[in-house]
Amino acid sequence: MRAPSTRRCSKRYASLQKRRCRRSVRRSARHAFTLLELLLVLAILVVLGGIVAVNVVGTGQAANADATTAQMKMLKQNIDMFQIRMNSLPQTLEELRDGPSDAAKKAKWVAPIITEIPKDAWGNEIEYSVNGNSFELRSGGIDGQKNTEDDIVVTP
């Protein structure tokens, strides 16, 4: 048996390399994306992005409503504290900060209960109304209009 010549081996090696090269070119051509596939993926991403955007915006409004409710409940506790100290409800929210306007009750006043009057999460004033021995705190909600469907109300 004779050993193969080096010339023959190099030809075999070169033809093998050419075949591999042709295969890889064919494989890469088969694995490329068509324009239709790219457009389909893009459409799916746009739909998913729209769904996420709608959910994020809705979550922000719900978070503002929850923050306003928590703020109003804290304000209710401050009003209850005023009622315990002064033995009556404040006529305005400013009395929680400045003290009662009545001179007889002003003598009982020790220190402010709050330093500033809070606003709702949308930057609107919180409405306070007294009716006898009860009170109501009302925020206009998302639209800022009082006495509408989206109002946030806290009562004792």
Tokens 């503002």 -> residue: 64
Domain of 130 in residue numbering reads as 39-154
CATH number at residue 80: 3.30.700.10
Does residue 5 lie in a domain region?
no
Model confidence at 53: pLDDT above 90: no
State the CB neighbour count (10 A cutoff) for residue 24: 10
Domain count along the chain: 1
Does residue 146 lie in a domain region?
yes
Does residue 1 lie in a domain region?
no
Does residue 68 lie in a domain region?
yes
Does residue 28 lie in a domain region?
no
Does residue 11 lie in a domain region?
no
Residue 51's H or E segment, with its range, is helix 35-86
- Mean per-residue pLDDT for 59-88? 88
Does residue 65 lie in a domain region?
yes
Q: Is 99 left (phi over 0), alpha (psi -120 to 50) or beta?
A: left
Does residue 4 lie in a domain region?
no
CA distances from 125 to 63, 77, 81, 128, 136 (A): 18, 18, 21, 9, 14
CA distance 32 to 116: 65
pLDDT tens digits, 11-41: 666 666 666 666 655 555 567 778 888 899 9
pTM above 0.85, yes or no: no
Model confidence at 44: pLDDT above 90: yes
